[in-house]
Copies of this chain bind each other. A is one copy, B any other.
Amino acid sequence: MTQTAGSDLTRRVEDAIRRHIAGRCAPPRLGRAIEDAMLAGGSRVRPRFALGVALACGDDRPSLSDAAAAAIECLHAASLVHDDLPCFDDAAIRRGRPSIHVAHGEALAVLTGDALIVMAFQVLADVGDIAAERLPCMLAALSASAGVPRGLVSGQAMECEETADLDAYHAAKTGALFEAAGALGAAASGGETAVWRRVGARLGAAYQVADDIHDALGLGGEGKPTGQDGLHERPNAVSSSGMDGAVTLLRRHLDDAIDAIPGGDDADSLRALIREQTGRFLPAELAAQISA
């Protein structure tokens, strides 16, 4: 993917998000908290992937592709807001700014997360009539990735269990939304969902390991507090396999993700996008090892 195409993708993701949340940021105090949660930065790696997949599948209904991307980001943002709450990570900072509950109070933070979960589905509803035959599949993928028994909420709930399986935890906490991003991007363009779901699963696994490395190294790139995994005794690839083992694992997951991408010129851009995005979350030295 050329630099121009990458920045076009970024702009398209931002436009889609702003368009779909417009008119929904109310009442006033809640509205400001929602805007804070959705518009104050963030990697947008999941919606960029969803849109990249939609483009690789032809992007014949651009409004649907945009909605897929925006809906995925709503769920991601909701999970960050709720994960930061005092009853979970009690994180004061997110993306270099006060977290939502610190800036807006706990009640509005709970409601911001709730509103954003629902908004993901409102976004799908916004385009429900455009290609109604694609909606059931998109709704199924989006809702399963967010809920129980194997979505984001389940992943967070595994932290409340006495024991948790590392693979199941990562699959739910991170993999599910990447899988859904692949499936929704494909479904939005009438593509094959199963193959893109697998790409998403592997990308999610890679991204989770990158996040673990990030946390273990105490990097503040996305502005969130680091060392959270050790602090909360959460399973982490670095603590279980060491730094070298984690880097090897990340590289393997990334190669698997890229290998799983079906052929075609459009997919070349997506391969480049994935390598570029993953590299962003690591220090230069490690990023070079990954992309070599």
Q: Which residues on A are within 8 Å of B, measured CB to CB?
A: 23-31, 34, 78, 82, 85, 87-88, 105-108, 110-111, 113-115, 117-119, 121-122, 124-125, 128-129, 132-133, 135-137, 139-140, 142-144, 146-149, 151, 153-154, 156-161
How far does the alpha carbon of A128 sit from the alpha carbon of B128 in the complex, in Å?
A: 12
- With A25-B149, A27-B157, A128-B140 given, name 16 new contacts (CB 8 A): A24-B148, A24-B149, A27-B158, A27-B161, A29-B160, A31-B149, A108-B157, A111-B156, A114-B153, A118-B147, A118-B151, A121-B142, A125-B136, A125-B139, A128-B136, A132-B133
B157 touches A30 (CB 8 A): yes
A85 touches B110 (CB 8 A): yes
B121 touches A143 (CB 8 A): yes
Question: For residue A164, which residue of chain B has the nearest CB?
Answer: B27
B132 touches A146 (CB 8 A): no
Overall SS of chain A's interface: helix
- A73 CB → nearest B CB, Å: 15
How far does the alpha carbon of A194 sit from the alpha carbon of B81 in the complex, in Å?
A: 35
- A20 CB → nearest B CB, Å: 12
Question: For residue A135, which residue of chain B has the nearest CB?
Answer: B135
29 contacts between A and B (CB under 8 A): A23-B149, A24-B147, A24-B148, A25-B148, A25-B149, A26-B154, A27-B149, A31-B149, A78-B114, A82-B111, A87-B105, A87-B110, A108-B160, A110-B110, A111-B156, A111-B157, A111-B160, A114-B114, A115-B148, A119-B147, A119-B148, A121-B121, A121-B142, A125-B136, A125-B144, A128-B136, A128-B137, A132-B135, A132-B136
Residues of chain B with a CB closer than 8 A to A153's CB: 30, 111, 114-115, 118
How far does the alpha carbon of A111 sit from the alpha carbon of B156 in the complex, in Å?
A: 8
B139 touches A121 (CB 8 A): yes
How far does the alpha carbon of A82 sit from the alpha carbon of B149 in the complex, in Å?
A: 20
How far does the alpha carbon of A110 sit from the alpha carbon of B119 in the complex, in Å?
A: 18
- A234 CB → nearest B CB, Å: 13
